[in-house]
Amino acid sequence: MQINIDTNSGFCFGVVNAIETAERYLENHDELYCLGDIVHNNMEVERLEKMGLKTITHDDLAQMKNATVLLRAHGEPPSTYETAVKNNITLVDASCPVVLRLQNRVLKGWENIRKMNGQLVIYGKEGHAEVLGLDGQTDGNAIVVGSIADLDKIDFTRPIELFTQTTKGKEGFAAIIKAIEQRIEAEGTEIPFIVNDSLCGAVSNRAPQMREFSAKNDVIVFVSGQKSSNGKYLYSVCQEINKRSYFVSSPDEIDPSWFSAETNSVGVCGATSTPMWLMENVAKKVEEITSTN
Ligand code: SF4
């Protein structure tokens, strides 16, 4: 039986940059605080914690003084930078450049739409770190919608400017745009509706590759942390194509019943927050299981 690891899976450049920044710092220092999980993958967080990384919360940050704190790829709202200045905290800013550019676009979008008595809407996960950073550009005035069911939060008689969290799926974003257009039409008013496609190519470009990979293998083992947004999206892409797709966060979660004597190939793939070493460990475990089956 063949076990294939998807070479297109694994960390995106934003996550690579954050992790390498932490590793470089820890080569010369005993510890580094990180505001929130550096990556939505517990096993990678544990590896870095062994090197001296200490994960803290925003409440911890508010209490700290004279420390050095890493900002991860998701980006932070302006209030975090203000707290750092107030508490004499040195920031090692590993915010992804794609997210920083988006924050700037949201800031400008908000300045524009508020002049029109409009609303800035973010298609994303309420409470997600990146969404909090984007909402911070609007002083907390953004309307966050996670699904079509949330659209009642929007006033369809006032102008709307729409952005999306970088890691959402193209299909979900298209569905939200269509649903908003329908609601505006139903209202019967002519209002400006400005759509900003702010999806990150590092995630959305993976979907077609993942479809192809899922079709080529009999069974798919998708590796990701439970908290990863892009992990949820990319796993749904695998499931769409291959019904024998399974989600695991670690090699221990692999169930031998997923593989049968007729299974000729198993594909191992993952999210932009999944380390390659973890996918390799999963592939090894699949090999152990299938060789004794
Ligand atoms: S998914 Fe895109 S925006 Fe998010 S960290 Fe990776 S490269 Fe940056």
The CATH number of residue 51's host domain is: 3.40.50.11270
Task: Say if residue 43's pLDDT is above 70.
Answer: yes
Structural domain ending residue among the three candidates 55, 80, 96: 96
Number of structural domains in the chain: 3
Q: Look at residue 182 in the predicted model and tell me its pLDDT.
A: 96
Claim to verify: residue 109 and residue 189 sit in the same structural domain: yes
pLDDT of residue 10 exceeding 80, the answer is yes
Q: How confident is the model at residue 293 (pLDDT cuts 50, 70, 90)?
A: low
What is the pLDDT confidence band of residue 203, given thresholds at 50, 70 and 90? confident
Coil, helix or strand at residue 224: coil
| Percentage with pLDDT > 70 across the chain | 100
The yes-or-no answer on residue 130 being catalytic is yes
- 212: CATH: 3.40.1010.20
Atom of ligand 1 nearest to the CA of 102: 3
For 10, the token pair is: 């694994």
Q: Are the C-beta atoms of 164 and 145 separated by less than 8 Å?
A: no
For residue range 228-243, what is the model confidence (pLDDT) as tens digits? 888 999 999 999 999 9
Residue of 259, 262, 249 whose CA lies nearest to 288: 259
Average pLDDT score over residue span 55-63: 97
One-letter amino acid of 279: M
Using an 8 Å Cβ cutoff, are 195 and 162 in contact? yes
Sequence-distant (6+) residues with CB within 8 A of 23 are 48, 51
The per-residue pLDDT for 254 is 97
Mean pLDDT of 21-29: 97
Give the domain range for residue 274.
Answer: 2-10+203-292
Could you tell me if 22 and 88 lie in one domain?
A: yes
My answer on whether 259 and 216 are in the same domain is: yes
Closest CA to 95 of 195, 172, 14: 14
> What is the average pLDDT score of the chain?
95
* CA gap 275, 258 in Å, rounded: 23
Which residue has a Cα nearest atom 2 of ligand 1? 200
Bridge-based pairing state of the strands 219-223 and 160-164: unpaired
Q: Give pTM, 2 decimals.
A: 0.89
Q: Pick from 200, 216, 245: which residue ends a domain?
A: 200
User: Residue 158 in contact with residue 118, Cβ under 8 Å?
Assistant: yes
Residue range 193-199: mean pLDDT, rounded: 96
Indicate which residue of 130, 171, 187, 280 is catalytic.
130
Whether residue 203 has its Cβ less than 6 Å from ligand 1: yes
What pLDDT score was predicted for residue 204? 86
Which residue lies with its CA nearest to atom 5 of ligand 1? 14
Same domain, 123 and 138: yes
Beta-ladder partners of 219: 266
Which of 9, 11, 15, 41 has most ligand 1 atoms within 8 Å of its beta carbon, as the pocket-test mutant? 15
Query: What pLDDT band is residue 227 in, cutting at 50, 70 and 90?
Result: confident
Length of the chain: 293
CA dist., res. 276 & res. 293, Å (int): 26
